[in-house]
Amino acid sequence: MKEVKVNRELLTLKAYSPGKSSEEVKREYGLTKIVKLASNENPYGSSPLVREAISSLENFAVYPDGAAVTLREKVAKLLEVDEHQLIFTSGLDELIQIISRAMLSEDSNTVMAAETFSQYRHHAVIQKAEIREVPLKDGCHDLNAMAAQIDERTQVVWICNPNNPTGTYVNREELQAFLKMVPPHALVVLDEAYYEYAAADDYPDTIPLLDRYKNLLIMRTFSKAYGLAAFRIGYGIADAGLIKQLDVARLPFNTSALAQTAAIAALQDQTFVEKCVSENVNELQKFYDICKRHNFEYYPSQGNFIFIRIPGKESADVFQYLLEKGFVVRPFPNGIRITVGTKEQNEELFQLLEKMVLVTQ
């Protein structure tokens, strides 16, 4: 008897695991409180306007607006782009899936950094595309090396800016020089999930580049600075012709009425976002200070997270130490990524890190 079988590419992958739930961690280590600094969520929550807006939603029996008409109008106006240049998705995770499904196959390759956001690779594997990973250089995208990997079969090039997990960024000049090197048949996807947080003067303003580069797609999300990760909503901005083609691979009702309503309300409260962003800049500085004081290695970050390596310590051990104290961070082979929390959360975390290095010196 033959068994059902999924495509063999799937056997080489694991389903996404968010790690242990807060409840599990509490029970396992007998803790009363968990501080989750593992997924770069907004530690200040979201605008109060969101709660108000979603509580007025009434008719649950009808499908949501598949074209996200109202949200589309608002975002188009805010960004000064044409409404046809936008595609709304169930978070950027879905947009990455749509792009991959629409553009990658066994006849093509895709170029990305390593280490970067894991979903680019995940969907490329499912699509059977050849994956060309280019190691980061000092934590940054090595754009010259990436350009050298592009050939006539390259369909998508992924640039995560700022990069998750390192927090480093590609500046205006570097990006422009790179775009000039990319042939017009290769789509450059700029993942700007942390766009609102990026504070560097030379962080690129990419929307105006869309007029010149038809092979550019910018991704933004409501999950991070807007604090709406629970609702699942993000969007892509690109040439209207490309958006029309990608839209074919989108599910009819991919963003819920709740998500659209929440996003519209969140857009109205830019003051909330600005406050979160300025707190993040202040708190990041404190992370830098602690790192310098104890000779921890780190990358200056343009996101709401920081990548740290503590010399002489395995990242798995640092992760475990913090976990047992109730702080959940994200371990990588060569360091840990910590979401920048509130002032109080960070102070507690700093104390734990200091205690750890003092005890073991």
Ligand X SMILES: *Cc1c(COP(=O)(O)O)cnc(C)c1O
91 forms part of the interface with ligand X (CB under 6 A): yes
By beta-carbon proximity to ligand X, the closer residue of 43 and 234 is: 234
By beta-carbon proximity to ligand X, the closer residue of 120 and 178 is: 120
Contact window for ligand X (CB under 6 A) among 86-94, 100-108, 146-154, 258-266:
86-94
234 forms part of the interface with ligand X (CB under 6 A): yes
**Structure-token match 């033959």, residue found:** 2
The answer to whether the beta carbons of residues 286 and 22 sit under 8 Å apart is: no
By beta-carbon proximity to ligand X, the closer residue of 92 and 237 is: 92
CA distance 80 to 77: 5
Please select the residue that binds ligand X; options are 87, 113, 182, 193, rule is CB under 6 A: 193
Query: How many residues bind to ligand X according to rule CB under 6 A?
Result: 13
Cα separations (Å) of 134 from 111, 129, 166, 233? 7, 16, 15, 29
> Position 38: which residue type?
A
Partnered with residue 156 across adjacent β-strands are 110, 187
Contact window for ligand X (CB under 6 A) among 46-54, 85-93, 242-250, 292-300:
85-93
By beta-carbon proximity to ligand X, the closer residue of 243 and 353 is: 243
**Exposure of 155 by Cβ count < 10 A (0-12 exposed, 13-18 middle, 19+ buried)?**
buried
Please select the residue that binds ligand X; options are 81, 85, 88, 93, rule is CB under 6 A: 93
The CB-of-60 to ligand X minimum distance in angstroms stands at 24
By beta-carbon proximity to ligand X, the closer residue of 37 and 92 is: 92
Residues 194-233 that bind ligand X (CB under 6 A): 221, 223, 229
The CB-of-130 to ligand X minimum distance in angstroms stands at 22
By beta-carbon proximity to ligand X, the closer residue of 229 and 240 is: 229
By beta-carbon proximity to ligand X, the closer residue of 267 and 290 is: 267
The CB-of-3 to ligand X minimum distance in angstroms stands at 33
By beta-carbon proximity to ligand X, the closer residue of 167 and 326 is: 167
**Structure-token match 């800016």, residue found:** 161
The CB-of-332 to ligand X minimum distance in angstroms stands at 14
Q: What would the 3-class secondary structure string for 14-66 be?
A: CCCCCCCCHHHHHHHHCCCCCEECCCCCCCCCCCHHHHHHHHCCCCCCCCCCC
User: Measured at CB, which residue is nearest to ligand X?
Assistant: 91
The CB-of-305 to ligand X minimum distance in angstroms stands at 8
Phi first, then psi, for residue 92 (nearest 5°) are: -70, -25
The CB-of-232 to ligand X minimum distance in angstroms stands at 7
DSSP class of residue 3 equals: P
Please select the residue that binds ligand X; options are 72, 88, 117, 254, rule is CB under 6 A: 117
The answer to whether the beta carbons of residues 93 and 39 sit under 8 Å apart is: no
Q: Which residues contact 233 (CB under 8 A, 6 or more apart)?
A: 88, 89, 90, 91, 221, 222, 223, 255, 259, 260, 262, 263
CA distance 191 to 73: 22
CA distance 248 to 52: 34
Site of interaction with ligand X (CB under 6 A): 40, 91-93, 117, 160, 164, 191, 193, 221, 223, 229, 234
